[in-house]
Amino acid sequence: QMLGMHPVVDFLLVVSAVVLVLVLVLRVRKLRGVTGFFHPYCNDGGGGERVLWCAVQALLNANPTTNILVYTGDIETQQDILTKANERFSIDLTGASDMPRIRFVRLKFRALLEASRYPMFTLLGQSLGGALLALEALLRATPEVFVDTT
């Protein structure tokens, strides 16, 4: 069950929460020189993850002062995630010059994206859940550039 008893009430509660969080996000100071990648499942090892890690590598190579945030719900360590990216895609980000420039922001509410949470109006629920999760990400750390690679 989502939130309350009636889907319309649930929808209005979610919309109200989104508006409130948007107001809060607009007041947060941006981290200069930081690019954030919103990828809640960054350690799955599929095609979307290859795009993510190629983009991260390209940015790090193009600008030596750029720092990267990866917003994820995965619990593995930074070393484990980057090692898997290297093993699966041959994208090595574990070097001494790259590792300190990549930080992971752990998202607590990734479950909002799970289809099983929404037995009815699944796509709507996942879309709203994704928007709320992106807002959680921005509240945790607001980069200068935010890229949704999901």
Q: Of the candidates 61, 71, 85, 33, which has an alpha carbon nearest to the alpha carbon of residue 147?
A: 71
Using one digit for the tens of pLDDT, what is the confidence trace for 82-93? Answer: 999 999 999 999
112 burial type by CB count under 10 A (0-12 exposed, 13-18 middle, 19+ buried): buried
Distance of CA 94 to the CA centre of its chain: 20
Quickly list H helices, 46-97: 47-62, 78-89
Check the CA dihedral 80-84-87-90 and report its sign: negative
Q: What is the pTM of this model?
A: 0.79
Residue percentage of the chain with pLDDT more than 70: 90
The SS3 of residue 109 is: coil
